[in-house]
């Protein structure tokens, strides 16, 4: 019986030693890569991204790994490596990592994530564009240079084709960048007037242009001499101290002609006109046409005459 007891004690001791040996060796089988994944919605594309994190279980050994996203190494724990997989649709996505260590141990780990829910691009921001053009014009003997103002607008690029000059055509094109949309017109075209083309074309003009055509005069039965002179009226000319502009009542028609008459006797007396050998003398700047009046009848010599109507069609 004693021998049996000693044998049992010996076997028990041997079993404890073997269990201890197994407990010491078991950590070698714990080598493993640690793979985790996080799903992120990319609002710029409306698709999902997965950010994969690869860790090393060992605190004293560098891990070498391979995966479908690339190969590399991970320093001892707690170091990690991050890999990003972009442009994924909704659904399940997995990543397997195969690893090895310098002591010859190999292991693998796989992580799976699910991309779900709404992932959409945001609505583009609306912007408006409105370039402005300045025509070359002559007003009151003042010349305005041709001009273009095509300001930069956030979320767009602008291109100008053509030359800003008299008689030239310019095209302004705005293009929206990613995340923006142009509301309304985006392409603008403008042609600048040919005249006036320069400051010289808008120089000071004489106060009264020379008459060019239709110089007629006649003496009516009432002894009033009526003279019709026609000038080519151009915007910017000054006649009799007043500015003449096409389209105003003093202008005879749209072609720019105006008819004026010689002073009546009454007007000559009122203005102190001088008669030389029976001829009336007209002041340097004849008065503009007045509203026609109806004759009152025959006039007595030496009596101031009433202004005579002038037929605009003569």
**Rounded to an integer, what distance in angstroms lies between the CA atom of residue 122 and that of residue 124?**
6
Average pLDDT of 150-178?
96
- Give yes or no for residue 9 having a pLDDT over 70: no
Band of pLDDT at residue 189, cut at 50, 70 and 90: very high
Average model confidence (pLDDT) across the chain:
71
Measured distance CA(68)–CA(96) in Å, rounded: 8
- Percent of the chain past pLDDT 90, that is, above it, reads 46
Tokens standing for residue 151: 């300001």
The pLDDT, as a whole number, for residue 261 is: 45
Q: What percent of the chain shows pLDDT beyond 70?
A: 55
Of residues 260, 253, 256, the one with CA closest to residue 215: 260
Q: Is the pTM of this model over 0.85?
A: no
pLDDT at 179: 87
Contact 201, 195 (CB under 8 A): yes
Tens of pLDDT along 76-108? Answer: 999 999 999 999 999 999 999 999 999 999 999
| Structural domains for the chain | 32-122 (2.60.40), 125-201 (no CATH), 205-314 (no CATH)
Query: Is the pLDDT confidence value at 134 over 60?
Result: yes
Is 80 exceeded by the pLDDT of residue 169?
A: yes
**Pick from 2-6, 178-182, 253-257, 286-290: least confident:** 2-6
Which residues lie below 8 Å from residue 60, measured CB to CB, with a gap of 6+? 76
pLDDT digits (tens, 9 = 90+) for 32-89: 999 999 999 998 888 999 999 999 999 999 999 999 999 999 999 999 999 999 999 9
Beta bridge partners of 82: 53
Rounded CA-CA distance 239/248 in Å is 14
């Amino acid at each position: 019986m004693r021998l049996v007891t000693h044998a049992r004690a010996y076997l028990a001791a041997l079993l404890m030693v073997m269990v201890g040996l197994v407990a010491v060796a078991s950590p070698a089988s714990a080598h493993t890569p640690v793979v985790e994944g996080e799903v992120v919605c990319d609002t710029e594309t409306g698709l999902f991204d997965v950010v994969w994190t690869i860790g090393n279980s060992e605190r004293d050994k560098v891990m070498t790994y391979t995966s479908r996203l690339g190969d590399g190494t991970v320093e001892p724990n707690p170091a990690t490596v991050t890999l990003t997989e972009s442009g994924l649709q909704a659904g399940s996505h997995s990543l397997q990592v195969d690893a090895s260590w310098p002591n010859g141990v190999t292991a693998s780990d796989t992580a799976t994530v699910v991309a779900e829910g709404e992932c959409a691009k945001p609505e583009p921001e609306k912007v408006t564009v409105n370039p402005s053009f300045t025509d070359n014009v002559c007003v009151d003997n003042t010349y305005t240079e041709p001009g273009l103002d095509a300001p930069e607008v956030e979320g767009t690029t602008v291109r100008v084709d053509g030359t800003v000059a008299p008689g030239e055509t310019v095209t302004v094109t705005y293009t929206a960048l990613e995340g923006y949309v142009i509301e309304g017109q985006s392409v603008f075209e403008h042609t600048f007037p040919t005249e006036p083309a320069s400051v010289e074309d808008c120089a000071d003009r004489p106060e009264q242009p020379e008459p060019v055509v239709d110089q007629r005069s006649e003496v009516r039965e009432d002894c009033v001499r009526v003279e019709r002179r026609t000038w080519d009226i151009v915007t910017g000319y000054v006649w009799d101290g007043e500015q003449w502009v096409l389209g105003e009542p003093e202008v005879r028609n749209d072609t720019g002609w105006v008819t004026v008459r010689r002073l009546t006797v009454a007007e000559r007396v009122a203005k102190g006109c001088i008669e030389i050998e029976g001829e009336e003398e007209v002041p340097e700047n004849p008065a503009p046409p007045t509203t026609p009046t109806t004759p009152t009848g025959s006039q007595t010599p030496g009596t101031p005459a009433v202004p005579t109507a002038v037929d605009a069609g003569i």
